[in-house]
Amino acid sequence: MKVVIPAADLHKGGGCKALVDIARAMTVRGHDVEIVLPEGSSVHYELPCKLTVVPALTKSTIPYGDLVLPNYYTTFRPAFEAWPDRCVRISLGFEPLWSPERELALWTYRQDVPVVSISRWLDDRIYEHAGRRSEIVSLGIDPAVFNASGSNPKRRKGEKPQVILYIARNPDVGYEFKGFRDFQQCMNIIKNEWSGPFIVHLICPERALPLPDIPHRIFFPKSEREMADLYRDADVFVSSSWFEAFSLPPLEAMACGTPVVTTNSGGVLDYCEHMENAYITQPKNPRALAEGICALLDDGLLSDKLIASGLRRASSMTSRHFETRIGEALETIYLNQIVRKSGKEKRT
């Protein structure tokens, strides 16, 4: 089977990584996979398949595929115009929540093509706005990279200062919904009200972001292994997003033996359970976020409980499981929907 994946870019990020993982899964299963990118786009991954660069993603530049897998509203339209009977809409995030072209983004979910999503929350958003259900395939992590081997047990027994790990996405370039400003307020609350010493390890994918008057270090990890080391060295990992289709970082932190404080951002509820394997707060509530961080820093028994439960949960959500499930889902969609639909059209 020929599989074509048109993408706007392959920068560092969960959605782009998922596309590469899909390409790898279909390649391993023996399919001919081709990723198509427009000129000027970036590629931050080692690709497991053919790469084609075109002047722009248009109806005439997207090659034929038995399956064509657009994953974003801007890539869906040219793919659908070119191959409407071969498209499968891959949804890695519900774009109408943040896109300035909301109606166009909604239109892409209302077309008569199969949809694959990555969480129950995302499936519910699609149903709420488009009246249709998707095939849900949850993401996973690579346990060879994200694991608790080499974590720092001394720190968790009281060594100071406590390390708070946070991924700071720049709100000025489209990532306001990641909640960095909420995290800034949260850390000011902790500085003023928590008695113990701490330091924030701030991962900044776009550029260094300010955390005034808060002890912190800034990191620019270049690989997943560097990310895993940062997770393992932390006493708590914090996520402050307003909404997320899935969100891999909390799951990666769990796999590395690091307790998680996260907002109820949607997709995380597919694997996070409050006070069982994570401390969950409401979005846009810096004080609640600060209370969660302090609870884990102050209560070693609670922290240990979340660590143990998080490790068990992460062990069941691996990248291999995702690649198997996505391969099976796409093959089933092709045989049961696309081939059957094409056969009906030929008979009529």
Query: Do the domains 153-315 and 2-140+319-347 match in fold?
Result: yes
pLDDT at site 118: 97
Dig out the tokens for 186 from the structure: 């949260």
Phi and psi angles of residue 244, each rounded to the nearest 5 degrees, phi first: -150, 135
Amino acid at 116: V
- pLDDT tens for residues 316-348? 999 999 999 999 999 999 998 777 766 654 444
pLDDT at site 154: 45
pLDDT at site 174: 87
Cα–Cα distance, 176 to 183 (Å, whole number): 11
| CB neighbourhood size of 87 (10 A) | 26
- Peptide bond before residue 249 is cis, with ω within 30 degrees of 0: no
Dig out the tokens for 162 from the structure: 């406590």
Regions of the chain where pLDDT drops below 70: 152-159, 341-348
pLDDT at site 12: 81
Cα–Cα distance, 236 to 205 (Å, whole number): 19
Alpha helix (H) residue ranges in the chain: 14-28, 73-82, 102-109, 120-130, 153-156, 180-193, 224-232, 248-255, 286-298, 300-315, 319-333, 339-347
pLDDT at site 347: 43
Instruction: Quote the CATH superfamily of domain 2-140+319-347.
Output: Glycogen Phosphorylase B; (3.40.50.2000)
**Fold type of domain 153-315:** Rossmann fold (3.40.50)
pLDDT at site 69: 98
pLDDT at site 62: 97
Cα–Cα distance, 170 to 161 (Å, whole number): 26
Q: What is the model's pTM?
A: 0.91
pLDDT at site 155: 55
pLDDT at site 158: 58
Residue positions counted in the chain: 348
Scanning the structure block, which residue is given the tokens 């409407």? 84
Amino acid at 69: L
Cα–Cα distance, 8 to 29 (Å, whole number): 25
pLDDT at site 346: 47
Domain ranges of the chain: 2-140+319-347, 153-315
Cα–Cα distance, 80 to 113 (Å, whole number): 9
